[in-house]
């Protein structure tokens, strides 16, 4: 059984990306799901001056320790103007300063990326960029899923059948990778 950390890289209480993340996490059985809320790890905007003056926020140290305990990650990342939200970039900036060059933030662990939006693009521009960026931070990106037109494809607490099947397929492939990694080790 693997420990899978799930979180939405959004600081919005009503995040549709958090809704999509919960749907994805509910599709996983046989593993321990650790749902965290990035809003519980508030950090000031990163700057070298702030780091020198005040040191590291306790929340950065806590989040880094929590990440180290996980075997894999599922992260829902909204798209803000074609890129990641500032809150997520800020977390990356702080955590990257806590980690030495031998152990990047995600420590070569499998990561599955999600994104949704009210528009047809569904955050796919951001996911495309993040599949290139995340390995710099130590992520072994093992898949992604983008849901466009969230409000047309999510109703009565669930995705429509086509999108639910696509998400199930992506999550199943991610989980299969985790199981294969277990048998090899």
Domain boundaries, the chain: 3-184
Q: For the chain, which ranges sit under pLDDT 50?
A: 182-185
- Comparing CA positions, the residue from 117, 80, 110, 118 lying closest to residue 170 is 110
pLDDT, position 185: 33
How far lies 103's CA from each of 43, 95, 112, 130, in Å?
A: 22, 11, 20, 19
- Supply the pTM of this predicted model: 0.93
What CATH class does 3-184 carry?
Answer: alpha beta
């Amino acid at each position: 059984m693997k420990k899978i950390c799930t979180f939405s890289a959004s600081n919005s209480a009503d995040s549709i990306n958090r809704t999509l993340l919960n749907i994805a996490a509910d599709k996983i059985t046989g593993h321990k799901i650790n749902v965290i809320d990035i809003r519980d790890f508030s950090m000031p905007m990163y700057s070298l001056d702030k780091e020198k003056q005040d040191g590291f926020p306790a929340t950065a140290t806590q989040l880094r320790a929590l990440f180290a305990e996980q075997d894999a990650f599922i992260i829902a990342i909204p798209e803000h103007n074609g890129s990641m939200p500032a809150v997520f970039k800020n977390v990356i900036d702080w955590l990257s300063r806590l980690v030495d060059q031998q152990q990047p933030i995600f420590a070569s662990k499998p990561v599955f990326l999600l994104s949704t939006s009210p528009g047809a693009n569904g955050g796919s521009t951001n996911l495309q960029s993040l599949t290139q960026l995340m390995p710099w931070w130590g992520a072994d990106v093992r898949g992604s899923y983008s849901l466009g037109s969230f409000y047309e494809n999510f109703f009565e607490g669930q995705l429509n059948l086509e999108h639910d099947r696509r998400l199930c397929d992506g999550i199943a492939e991610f989980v299969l990778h985790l199981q294969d990694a277990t048998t090899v080790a």
